[in-house]
């Protein structure tokens, strides 16, 4: 699926973005402890034990438009292809088997069955949504471990790289102290329901310009600062944010984690953008390109990952995970979390007595990883369902291109997310 991110912002805006990200990287008061086990220069290739040769890992994606749950992450899943290339360039000889669930329950079930028949050791579920429930149940029955880089199901045999709901609510309670919170809930979306003073129901067909006018008046009439939490899919979030920003509504916007997806940036930046900044925060972990600006192990590991993104983007032979387009078309969206998911499975396969999913699952349950193992943003501990060991943080956003991914097909700008100073 070709990216539709538009070009915005002058060179000055890009320079300002880079400077701000450098300052965040240098002065962040709660910076993680440096990982001294990672070499000053990290090789682009990743080595794996010979026991992984001939193994395969599944990748589940959702291809479609905004009517297909989870489709916002399908280009982000290209990060797994980057990890595969890094291992195979060092002779690992592993295969990534990709299936499209089409955003339906029947499609997800068929995809898991197909991956099981192809004897994958585990599945990276690079999508999200209620349509996955029966597929998760089937994977449990078949003892296939699942890693969710972009979702957080409550099911045995699954691991998530997302922040758990309880931690998100606690962080937001502290952040929102003294503010009046209006929560916009999309019908049938789910998400985290922060305690709110007012809840407004929205749908994909909501007139976002009228909604913005209504909210603007409420913000003006309020005697205390107002924050607006948008509990919706990335496509609707982007339209609501654009309408609020264009109208100049003076309220902080709190976005669901899907705002860090490629689809949010593409939707927000489609057409003429009146503002080069977004007055919004989200909650997550520091997993964006700006991690490469750090001088610790995470920074070096992220830099090596981005270097392979550049190499693959410039290669005429590299393709997207589905093989339906050149890798260069998804290079701007390839996400480090899907990359780290594949790294985790490969490291589990190294310590497993066989490639069988059941054996890999048992090994994964006690696995601990750091940037020295090839993951890009913090340590992982799979003794917990929420494997990321870093503390969740508020993420701020900026529009611009850090130019860390090489020569992309067009001078695309993106929505960059980094820890709020």
Q: What is the pLDDT of residues 306-359, one digit of tens each?
A: 999 999 999 999 999 999 999 999 999 999 999 999 999 999 999 999 999 999
Report how far residue 69's alpha carbon sits from residue 63's, in angstroms, rounded to the nearest whole number.
9
Tens digit of each residue's pLDDT (9 = 90 or more) over 174-218: 888 889 999 999 988 988 889 999 999 999 999 999 999 999 999
CB 86 within 8 A of CB 44: yes
Which residue has better confidence, 277 or 162?
162
pLDDT digits (tens, 9 = 90+) for 349-392: 999 999 999 999 999 998 999 999 999 978 999 999 999 999 99
pLDDT mean across residues, the chain: 88
Q: What is the average pLDDT across 396-412? A: 70
The better pLDDT of the pair 121, 20 is held by 121
CB 153 within 8 A of CB 368: no
Hey, which bits of 71-178 come out as E strands? 95-100, 123-125, 146-148, 158-160
Cα torsion at 160, 399, 314, 287 (round to 10°)?
Answer: -20
pLDDT at position 92 is 96
Domain residue ranges of the chain, discontinuous segments joined by +: 1-30+164-284+391-421, 50-162+291-390
* 394 class by beta-carbon count within 10 Å (0-12 exposed, 13-18 middle, 19+ buried): middle
What CATH class has 1-30+164-284+391-421? alpha beta
Beta strands in 238-379 (DSSP E): 252-255, 277-284, 368-369
CA 275 to chain centre: 24
Q: Which CATH superfamily is domain 50-162+291-390 in?
A: Response regulator (3.40.50.2300)
Q: E strand or H helix at 201, and its extent?
A: strand 198-202
């Amino acid at each position: 699926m070709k990216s539709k991110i538009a070009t915005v912002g002058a060179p000055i805006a890009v320079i300002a973005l880079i400077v701000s990200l450098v300052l965040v990287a240098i002065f962040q008061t709660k910076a993680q402890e440096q990982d001294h086990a990672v070499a000053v220069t990290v090789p682009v290739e990743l080595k794996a034990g010979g026991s992984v040769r001939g193994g395969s890992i599944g990748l589940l994606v959702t291809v479609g438009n905004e009517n297909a749950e989870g489709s916002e992450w399908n280009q982000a899943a290209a990060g797994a292809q980057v990890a595969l290339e890094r291992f195979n360039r060092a002779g690992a000889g592993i295969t990534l088997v990709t299936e499209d669930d089409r955003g339906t329950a029947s499609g997800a079930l068929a995809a898991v069955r197909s991956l099981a028949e192809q004897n994958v050791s585990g599945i990276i579920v690079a999508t999200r949504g209620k349509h996955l429930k029966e597929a998760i149940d089937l994977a449990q029955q078949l003892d296939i471990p699942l890693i969710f880089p972009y979702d957080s199901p409550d099911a045995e045999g699954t691991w998530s790289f997302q922040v758990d709901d309880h931690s998100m609510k606690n962080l937001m309670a502290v952040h929102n102290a003294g503010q009046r919170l209006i929560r916009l809930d999309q019908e049938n979306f789910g998400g985290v329901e922060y305690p709110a003073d007012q809840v407004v129901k929205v749908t994909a067909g909501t007139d976002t310009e009228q909604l913005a006018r209504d909210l603007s008046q409420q913000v003006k009439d309020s005697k205390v600062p107002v924050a607006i939490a948008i509990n919706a899919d990335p496509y609707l979030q982007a339209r609501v944010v654009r309408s609020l920003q264009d109208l100049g509504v003076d309220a902080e916007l709190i976005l669901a984690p899907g705002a860090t997806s490629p689809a949010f940036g593409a939707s927000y930046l489609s057409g003429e953008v009146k503002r080069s900044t977004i007055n919004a925060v989200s909650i997550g972990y520091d997993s964006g390109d700006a991690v490469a600006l750090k001088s610790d192990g995470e920074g070096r590991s992220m830099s090596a990952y981005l270097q392979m993104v550049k190499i693959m983007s410039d290669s005429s032979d590299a393709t997207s995970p589905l093989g339906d387009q050149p890798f260069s078309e998804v290079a701007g969206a390839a996400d480090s979390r899907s990359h780290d998911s594949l790294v985790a499975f490969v490291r589990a396969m190294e310590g497993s007595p066989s490639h069988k999913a059941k054996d890999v699952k048992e090994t994964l349950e006690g696995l601990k990883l750091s940037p020295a193992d090839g993951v890009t943003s913090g340590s992982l501990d799979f003794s917990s369902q929420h494997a990321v060991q870093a503390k969740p943080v508020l993420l701020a956003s900026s529009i611009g291109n850090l130019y860390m991914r090489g020569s992309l097909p067009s001078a695309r700008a993106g929505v960059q997310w980094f820890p709020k100073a």
